[in-house]
Amino acid sequence: MSFDTPTGTRGTRQPAGRLLRWMNTLIARKIRKSGKAMGFNALILTTIGRKSGAERTTPVGWFPGPDGSRLIVASAAGAAGNPAWYYNIAAHPDQVRIEVDGRTIAVVAEQLHGAERAAAWKQITAASPRFAAYQDKTDRELPIIRLTPRPDYDSSQDTPR
């Protein structure tokens, strides 16, 4: 697993602060009720902070991947930097969970590269052209992460086997 996308030199201002945390709380509540937010299928991503070690939750849109996996994009709305959750996944790839369809699922997170990324990018931008607009705003390549359920995880118990 290689999480290696460097920060860009140009892009939009990355959202942050109290307002973003408040918005994320509202969006997460909506996702838990409907599974959608901002016109996307959405999930709640739970990571462990790379510096703090604290659990962090972030609502993100997802796209269907092969074999029941889910694809998410570390777009940060086209900011020059990757979102914090990207670095949290890189620091603690074995401690990632998602909430989707009323279930909590431990997942394996893998950044896509090469032809696999190109095929996923084509699928994502066809389904949601706004991601192409985000890519146009920055000079970094927007990372695509595949989330696959961990095989050693029993979601009915919400604990690893």
Helix (H) or strand (E) holding 12: none
Could you state, in order of their start, the residue ranges of all structural domains in the chain? 18-150
CATH of domain 18-150: 2.30.110.10
Per-residue pLDDT of the chain (161 residues; tens, 9 = 90+): 578 877 888 887 776 778 878 888 888 888 888 888 877 899 999 999 999 999 999 999 999 998 889 999 999 989 999 999 999 999 998 899 999 989 999 999 999 999 999 999 999 999 999 999 999 999 999 999 999 999 875 555 554 44
Q: What tokens appear for 23 in the block?
A: 């918005």
Q: Running DSSP on this structure, what letter comes out for residue 143?
A: P
Tell me the pTM: 0.86
| Cβ–Cβ under 8 Å, residues 145 and 71 | yes
